[in-house]
Structure 1
Amino acid sequence: MNQQQKALYSYIKASKYEPSSFIAAAIIDNAKVGNIIIAEKLYSQLIRVRDIDIDLLIHVRKLVDRSRQKYKVMNEYLHDSIPKISVIVPFYNRKDKILGCINSVLNQSFGDIEIIAVDDGSTDGGNEILLEITDPRLVIIRNEKASGNSGAPRNIALKIARGEYIAFVDSDDCVELNYFSELYQCIVKNNADIAFSKWFKKINYQNGRREESKIYYKYIDRVRYINYDSFFINSFVIWDKIYRRELFHNNLIYLSESKIGADTLMIAKTYYYAKNVCMCDNKSAYKYFAFSHNSVSQLHRKNTGNLIEEDRPYREVFLWIDKFNISKDY
């Protein structure tokens, strides 16, 4: 039996019997011989298996991506298998918020998405609420033990995401109807690595009263320093933009697994390695609920003696700058 015959046989076996081990084996066999469309189709099936081993998912995803590069399979040939945008939503004990967040993404006017919701060891039953959703675009990953930071669950999702572009939504926030449609059109039109949202809505509660404000960014498309040309934007958060997935994978960019500021180094790296960025003149907004009760970062910030945790993300940035001889101007 040659490799192509073996791959076909394993695909038939996986389609017939469906245990995750058969599906994973079939993905590996087909990816090795360049049957990437079949491998992607099977991966779509594997990622929705309940209680799937996360390490297995990550291993299989890496193998398929490497095979796509080796056999130079273009995205247009995989349009039935690969979503345009992977939206990553980590959550921990968000039973009262998570459904509204996920529904705001599922109900977007732009429907070519997958949502990877990573339950980071919740104990309040939020995971069960999401399991009732039958939309096949929703993928639920569960960590049995909480990591205690917002970086670890996002990194899991980054490693298994399939979309051409990556977006992040926090579990206590939501997005308006055309938000991803506008950002997607902008990033494609400009062939950019990052598309920034021009503004967002900040929602706060003071003495039981809801306060809503519009926050606009300052953006300069070219700034000349002594030894470095760059853009400038006063945005240092993860969720107000979409990114080309290759930006993460080609430059080995992930989030820090720190209790506070897990996205600080990631933002610094994506801004540095992005070859082209664009500002979206968006009408729909990301709705940011400031200082949300029980968020991981806020819980740690409320505790005393966390100066080391506050400082850690910035130390990581300076270590990266020194290690890779990044221009001090940057």
Structure 2
Amino acid sequence: MSTDHLGSARAVSVIVPVYNAVAHLRACVASILAQTHRDLEVILVDDGSTDGSGELCDELGAADARLRVIHQRNGGIGAAQNAGLDVASGSFITFCDNDDLMSPHFVKRLLDVLVETDADISCCRWWNVGASTAAASLAAHTDDPPGEVLVFDDAARSYQTVFSSALRRLRRDELRYFSEANWGKLYRASMFDGIRFPAGRYAQDVSVAMDLYLRARRVASCSDRLYFWLQRGDSVSHSLRSASYFHDILRAHAHSFTAALDHGIVPARAYFGLTALRRERQSVRTASDAAMYREDRALVCMLKSRLSARQRAHCAGLSLLRRAEVLVYDRTVHRRR
């Protein structure tokens, strides 16, 4: 990817997939444009919005030359992210969901950390906030001091093994944890050479997570909470419960499972992801749903058969613990407004 458009080796492209987000998009974009790192290209990809978000993208784009607007037919978040990647001209890439907010220090902090440690990915912590308190939370934490940084070279192994909230706190291993989400991270643009998100599928971030982490030479993780993840009851992760939704989640984790085993990594996190099979079964409504479920059940059995008895017991134990944590999370954080 050329940096000619931005004219700097420290130029950053921020990709924002936009779909029916008219109520939150203005605040989201304002938080990006307020970054202390000014060498930005902000790519708004209107993915066939029907609520006026497309027109708002054009209005915002006309007001700031750093904004680039793309309009396309609805293809899902993966297709929108790919459209942004295809035109991005920065040396570094980050993503922001269309209803979330960034601390004004987000880009500069992650860029400084990445460059200073010669990492391929840098990541930060985040705040889970309700939509009604997001602006106040951002204002309250704008001037938080920088925290500690941990650098490690086994990102894929860490991704698969450090995911239980309780265990990572007990082991003081928080900085080795990062989510599948593409937000909250800064990537060298070259990390996406030959890698694109699956279009038209859910869990598009999980689908490429292991590919990216296996490619990364080094990851720099900082304790700073620089990203504000809004919880809304009408978001995709809250509202979709179709069999195809859980099918996509399962298939994404199946890819992660296989990639981990092929590289000698116990796929504990992916094992937990395969529990989407239970939710898929509960969501079967049609004959085609039932056929899809049977295929996925056979796939899960085949994948688990690749584990030794010890590996399977280890993964099953962590999966039970994580399931309990998710139940607590769904009853607390996900209910914020």
Q: Report the TM-score, using the length of structure 2 for normalisation.
A: 0.62
Larger-Rg structure: 1
1:146 aligns with 2:74: yes
**How far apart, in 1, do the equivalents of 2:189 and 2:94 lie?**
9
How do 1:3-22 and structure 2 match up within 5 A?
A: none
Q: Are residues 321 and 278 of structure 1, via their aligned partners in 2, closer, same or farther at CA, if it must alter by over 3 Å?
A: closer
1:308 aligns with 2:235: no
1:247 aligns with 2:191: yes
Aligned equivalent of 2:213: 271
Larger fraction in strand: 1
**Secondary structure of residue in 2 paired with 1:195:** strand
1:137 aligns with 2:81: no
Alpha-carbon distance, 1:188 to partner: 1.1
Listed one character per residue, the Cα deviations across residues 301-322 of structure 1 (whole Å, up to 9, x for unaligned) are: 3x46743233121123245557
**How far apart, in 2, do the equivalents of 1:78 and 1:204 lie?**
37
Give the AA of the match of 1:271.
Y
Give the AA of the match of 2:70.
I
1:192 aligns with 2:119: yes
1:221 aligns with 2:152: yes
Aligned equivalent of 2:130: 204
Listed one character per residue, the Cα deviations across residues 47-69 of structure 1 (whole Å, up to 9, x for unaligned) are: xxxxxxxxxxxxxxxxxx5xx7x
Give the conservation status (yes or no) of the 8 Å contact 2:151–2:218: no
Aligned equivalent of 2:96: 169
Q: Report the TM-score, using the length of structure 1 for normalisation.
A: 0.63
1:327 aligns with 2:248: no
Give the conservation status (yes or no) of the 8 Å contact 2:176–2:221: no
Alpha-carbon distance, 1:266 to partner: 1.8
Runs of 4 or more above 6 Å deviation:
208-214, 216-220, 222-225
**Secondary structure of residue in 2 paired with 1:132:** helix
Alpha-carbon distance, 1:78 to partner: 7.8
Alpha-carbon distance, 1:219 to partner: 6.6
Give the AA of the match of 1:203.
V
**Secondary structure of residue in 2 paired with 1:288:** strand
**How far apart, in 2, do the equivalents of 1:267 and 1:184 lie?**
20
**How far apart, in 2, do the equivalents of 1:217 and 1:294 lie?**
35
The gaps in structure 1 that reach 5 residues or longer are 1-64, 69-74
1:262 aligns with 2:204: yes
Give the conservation status (yes or no) of the 8 Å contact 2:103–2:228: yes
Give the AA of the match of 2:152.
D
Q: Determine which structure has greater relative contact order: mean sequence separation of CA pairs < 8 Å that are 6+ residues apart, divided by chain length.
A: 2
The gaps in structure 2 that reach 5 residues or longer are 142-146, 163-174, 268-337
Listed one character per residue, the Cα deviations across residues 132-163 of structure 1 (whole Å, up to 9, x for unaligned) are: 232111000011x211x311100111111111
1:89 aligns with 2:16: yes
**Secondary structure of residue in 2 paired with 1:267:** helix
RMSD: 3.6
**How far apart, in 2, do the equivalents of 1:236 and 1:123 lie?**
28
Give the conservation status (yes or no) of the 8 Å contact 1:258–1:312: no
| Corresponding pairs, count | 242
**How far apart, in 2, do the equivalents of 1:209 and 1:188 lie?**
33
1:288 aligns with 2:217: no
**How far apart, in 2, do the equivalents of 1:78 and 1:91 lie?**
23
Larger fraction in helix: 2
Give the conservation status (yes or no) of the 8 Å contact 1:89–1:170: yes
